[in-house]
A and B are shown apart, each in its own frame.
Chain A
Amino acid sequence: MKTELKEMLASLNSPAEWVGLRHVAEDSRSFQVRDERVEAVNQGISEGVMVEVLVDGQFHYSATADVSKDGIARAHNRAMALAEFSKGWSLAKFSLDQRPKAVGSYASKTSQTLDQLGMQELIALLVDSTKAMKTSDEIVSRVAYAQNAVTNMTYVSSNGSEFDQTFSHNFSHLSATAQRGSDVQTRTNGMDVSQSGYEFFDREHMTAESVRIGEQVLELLDAENCPEDTRDLLLAPSQLYLQIHESIGHPLELDRILGDERNYAGWSFIGLEDFGKLQYGSDLLNVTFDPTVSGELASYMFDDTGVKAEKEYLIKDGKLLRGLGSLESQSRANVPGVACARSTSWNRPALDRMANINIEAGTSSMSDMISSVEKGVFMDTNKSWSIDDYRNKFQFGCEYAKLIENGEITKTVKNPNYRGVCTPFWSNLKMVGNGDNFEVWGSFFCGKAEPNQVIRVGHATPHCLFSDIEVFGGAR
């Protein structure tokens, strides 16, 4: 593809200051089984090119699925027409400085293809997973889902960039719903994701998870509601990943801080003046942008503008250092950023996105944390999330919780929720788990931008303990 794209780029003879062609091809497969019956076997393929031109200091974009020479030439002309009409109205002035020359190649590490695993075996595995969840007649629905997406991106530009990246992303979801009278409980494996091949869909692991889910959903039917008071909160990575996403990742996006997202995703409680100064959380809080973690969902070599991705501290010892901003946002904001200009596919421009945003491991074991708690609750697996447009006042619900009383885990409670405000919450971080309780999570579904884009992000974190958090249960 690279050679063809380079030829097409040359044949454009573009009058623009700079031209980039980003070709994206994706092959996504998903499989769903409900109650031991096949519900969906899907495949989606997509291919197209985003033509990007720099004219009068502004980038203009035109997307086409016609990847022939004529198709790309037409798309290029449409981008140039936009430049003519938007002349004099651009928000910021950019140059080649925001499109560095990038040369290289990246591919996810994979050890098994779908053919090697076998589609029959994958379906059988999903059927068996739903079978393993059937622990009682009170279970009304059992779902097992597997998805793999292979995405290839090839990028060439008029200043000599040429790189390609191939990603293989996976997602498995196991879910059991049980009903007793007016009570309904659902237990899942959360959003189990990875960057790998089909070896991710491991029979032993998925069967064990299915058994656990089937047992715990019944435990929830028997459980009391989560208490409503203020107490210590121990969060599992299956919940904490989304807490990081919503209350650290999004507020640190420089384009949000600059106001570009005010009309849709929202703004940020962080100001540009806070970088290098604001104490975001307790001094135990260390947060990194780390595109180098093997197997984490958003590991990559270059962002979609050709910036080399490297690990950087966003928050160190609780202090805010750096934003999630592309070279474009960095030049507008004059704040340090990272290689985070990403797009959902060939049909959208790249903008400031999270990649892997991780809490670095601390020193506490699980038993250290539990034994330190007099009155607390342990919450596991995100169920519900909501946060204001400044990314400040949040509320989360989890699937499953256990009380912690006098240093010990005691009974299961259902419908656990908690709420708080961003920096006070992170300031109440009092213990950070060590490498033994560190887990890699992520999401296929981070939404942002106008026009809208969804993107895959990674979040790795140990278990963490917070003091004095408002918790509560379900409706009475």
Chain B
Amino acid sequence: MTSQEWVKNKKQAFAELSENLFSALKSDEQVTLSVSGEDSLYCRFSQSKVRQPSRVDQVALGMSFIVNNCELKKSMVLSGDVDKDTRKLMSLVESARKEAAILPETPFIVEPKNLASSDEDVLLAESNGERLLPEMVKPLQSVDAAGLLADGIVFRGNQNSLGQKHWFSNESFYVDYSLYSSKQKAVKACYADTKWDQAAFEANVSDATNQLSHMRLPTQEVKRGNYKTYLAPAAVNELLGLLNWGGWSAQAFKTGRSSLKELAEGNRKFSQKMNITEDFSLGLSPKFNSFGEVADDKLSVIDQGELKTLLVSSKTAEEYSDLEGNRASAGEGLRSAVMGTGSLDRADILSALGTGLYVSNLHYLNYSDLPKARVTGMTRFACFWVENGEIKGPIKDLRFDETVYNIFGDKLVDLTSFAETQPVIGTYEQRAIGGSRVPGILVDEMAYTL
């Protein structure tokens, strides 16, 4: 079956299932259905050899059922047999009706609307398929590589009982991997695209192998202390990822759980050099959310260091009359973040850093003081001690503990003139969708505590 046929089948099954349900609704009932699915090939590897290859074909359906000011959420996994799935879905509807009859109201319901529909498929004429397994491992045979290949189709759909429909599908792959030297030093790399190109993957592996040669320099002992630091785009992306954990959320702000409280209250600012936009022109995420609302192409969140807006879902806007919704996702996180670039050219990074730490990746971030946006985490993979603009050698992992207001604000020296696109590499339950585009940053001083 081609990708087009596979997606057409899933789309049609979703349409039939929706129609079966909508035609059985009573006049006072409203429903929004969301669907997310994948046909994936996953292959993890270690020591450049294959471990636990798997195929996953799955579709999850979510339903918001609204009656008498009561909203119930039900979800199920679709078998693909529309009759069987309809029976299962109708039994969920039956229990939702019974529950709505006995439960108190659920305030701040976002009711379905019929504003505009959308339909977008980005599929390959010929899928990559299982042949990627040998093609991926062959170029890795002269190194020690560990990682994951994920390939296939991912889709999202949304349909409500008023007739509004959205669909987004995408066929792509990534090899998210790391290479290891005999002394167990590592560099991280990623090869992501739509159609597999063996020569491009070989070039990607060859670049990473060259970087690994830097790791053969003697390991530098770095004591705790404050150091000037260059954070490469992947490291900056980790920080943005943590801020997505409630930082931009208006709901979190109103309930005391936002890490960007002081920014939102206007008591703190980022550097004037900082600009962050939700920008769907990246093309990695659908513009519609689980309510079926379509976001603007661009939404400025940070403009020259100042917060322009928090992310406000329609549900949050229902609850707080002083907030205007901006069709954010239910979780009120950035789905397609683009951070503006600065003036630091790639060739000048080491000289601008002078003496300090070159950090390519960060790992396991968490708040050590949430309302003050103080973050702790570890350096990971290729991180170097640099002296007078020259790489002296790799470091042992260090722990930092620093506020976001220092990193993105008072201590920010510059951002790089280039940015890198980072696809989301998440596969909890299903292969995730989305990504971001961020530059590297130079920070005058960061606190390393262990």
Which residues of A lie under 8 Å from residue B184 when comparing CB positions?
267
Q: Residue A419 at the B interface, CB < 8 A? A: yes
Which residues of B lie under 8 Å from residue A454 when comparing CB positions?
428-429
A/B pair count, beta carbons within 8 Å: 261
Complexed CA–CA distance, A338 and B263 (Å): 49
Chain B nearest CB: distance from A422 CB in Å? 12
Complexed CA–CA distance, A347 and B52 (Å): 12
On whether the beta carbons of B76 and A44 are closer than 8 Å, the reply is yes
Complexed CA–CA distance, A131 and B377 (Å): 37
Q: Residue B262 at the A interface, CB < 8 A? A: yes
Chain A nearest CB: distance from B373 CB in Å? 8
Max chain A Cβ within 10 angstroms of own Cβ: one of B41, B52, B58: B52
Which residues of A lie under 8 Å from residue B50 when comparing CB positions?
58, 86, 89-91
On whether the beta carbons of B397 and A41 are closer than 8 Å, the reply is no
Beta-carbon contacts under 8 Å, A28-76 to B? 34, 37-48, 58-68, 71, 75
Beta-carbon contacts under 8 Å, B367-416 to A? 367-372, 374, 376-378, 380, 397, 399, 401, 403
Beta-carbon contacts under 8 Å, A127-148 to B? 127, 140-141
The one of A75, A86, A258, A389 that contacts B133, using a Cβ cutoff of 8 Å: A86
Selecting from A163-171, A182-190, A272-280, A302-310, the interface stretch reads: A182-190
Beta-carbon contacts under 8 Å, B57-74 to A? 57-60, 71-74
Known: A178-B256, A386-B376. A43 touches B75 (CB 8 A): yes
Beta-carbon contacts under 8 Å, B139-184 to A? 146-148, 150, 176-178, 180, 184
Interface size class of chain A, counting residues whose CB lies under 8 Å from the partner chain:
35 or more
On whether the beta carbons of A177 and B176 are closer than 8 Å, the reply is no
**Closest partner residue, chain B, to A122 (CB atom):** B103
Q: Residue B257 at the A interface, CB < 8 A? A: yes
Q: Residue A15 at the B interface, CB < 8 A? A: no
Beta-carbon contacts under 8 Å, B252-266 to A? 254-257, 261-262
Interface size class of chain B, counting residues whose CB lies under 8 Å from the partner chain:
35 or more
On whether the beta carbons of A384 and B366 are closer than 8 Å, the reply is yes
Which residues of A lie under 8 Å from residue B368 when comparing CB positions?
384, 386, 395, 397, 417, 474-475
Complexed CA–CA distance, A82 and B267 (Å): 57
**Closest partner residue, chain B, to A58 (CB atom):** B50
Which residues of A lie under 8 Å from residue B77 when comparing CB positions?
45-48, 65
Q: Residue B137 at the A interface, CB < 8 A? A: yes
Q: Residue A79 at the B interface, CB < 8 A? A: yes
**Closest partner residue, chain A, to B377 (CB atom):** A386
Selecting from B78-86, B117-125, B209-217, B437-445, the interface stretch reads: B78-86
Complexed CA–CA distance, A266 and B369 (Å): 25
The 6 closest A-B pairs by CB, nearest first: A451-B427, A141-B255, A450-B148, A61-B54, A475-B372, A91-B49
Give me 12 A-to-B residue pairs in the complex whose CB atoms sit less than 8 angstroms apart, sorted by A's number. Answer: A40-B73, A40-B106, A45-B76, A47-B79, A65-B79, A86-B133, A89-B133, A140-B255, A384-B376, A388-B399, A389-B378, A395-B449
